[in-house]
Amino acid sequence: MSSPTPSDAQTPADTPTVAPVPAPPLPLSLKEHLALKPAADRRVLLLQVAVFLAFYHVVERVIHGDVKLTSVFVNDSGDAQLPKSRSTVPITSLPRAPTNPEERLPMTTATDVYAFAWLVFYAFTDIDPQVLARNPQTMRLIASGVKPNRPGPGTLPHQRGLNDTIWSMLVRCWDISPAARPPITEVLLAFNLPAPTVNPLPAPPPPYEARPAGGGGPTDAFGSADADDPASTDGSREASVVGSAATAEPTHAHAPTESVDRQRDTEDNDPGPDTSMSTEGDDAAN
């Protein structure tokens, strides 16, 4: 069989070119999405995030552990999604109090709720909790239970949908006591849209600490959350949370307000001094 002549052979130049298939665009974080589309309906996007969180808490029985604006992504359809993070851990029914005053409180469902409130605040106001966390004076105020000032009528946050109902819910989510914060299934109602269609929804879990699935020792209160991100912690953790991002929970083990875990450990003993901190002044001011 004779070899093809040069005229019969196909040269590289004659090879038909195939246009490369562009890689699908990476999903934008909610922070990037809002920067590109400032007129986006923030209330709907935030409700979608809350639905994810409710599914994790109630159905999958896990704590997300890293709720913040950059952990939320928006797909091509414009829907917000909250994927699990490296900090996501199972909920346990075994409470444990801190062993010393320097130990941060463990992650709980209440920690996620606290962080979600900071995420909502950021989405409506463009005020980054991580920036607030860099100011030691602001951190001390947050750790003591002081809440942000509410944007007034006619301001941009108000025009974006930050109404009375949502703000009142944020104030409850920022409560210095983790046990006083509402479950995420109740937070959903503040956005005036139906709760997630899980048939039926089990009762929300109490804000117990999380442990690894293998049943090992307690997890680090912050998991893999950034220590400068207030959206990832409780009280002292929240202060670390705002200090750790928007999750700075304003309660240390030695703070006036006890953690829910410590309260349960001491519920059979004589009650200590009143550990609740009134927020009426804050609420009235806000």
> How far, in Å, CA of 120 to CA of 118, rounded?
5
Task: List the structure tokens of 224.
Answer: 């893999």
Phi-psi region for residue 155, left (φ > 0), alpha (ψ -120 to 50) or beta? Answer: beta
pLDDT at 120: 96
Domains and CATH numbers, the chain: 27-192+200-269+277-285 (1.10.510.10)
Q: How far is CA 155 from the centre of its chain?
A: 25
> Considering Cα of 141, then 273, then 179, then 220, what sign does the dihedral take?
positive
pLDDT at 203: 56
To the nearest whole number, what is the mean pLDDT of the chain? 71
pLDDT at 26: 74
DSSP-derived 3-state class of residue 80: strand
pLDDT at 157: 93
> How far, in Å, CA of 47 to CA of 50, rounded?
5
pLDDT at 163: 92
* pLDDT category of residue 221 using cuts at 50, 70 and 90: very low
Residue 67 pLDDT greater than 90, yes or no: yes
Amino acid at 26: L
pLDDT at 250: 52
Residue 86 pLDDT greater than 70, yes or no: yes
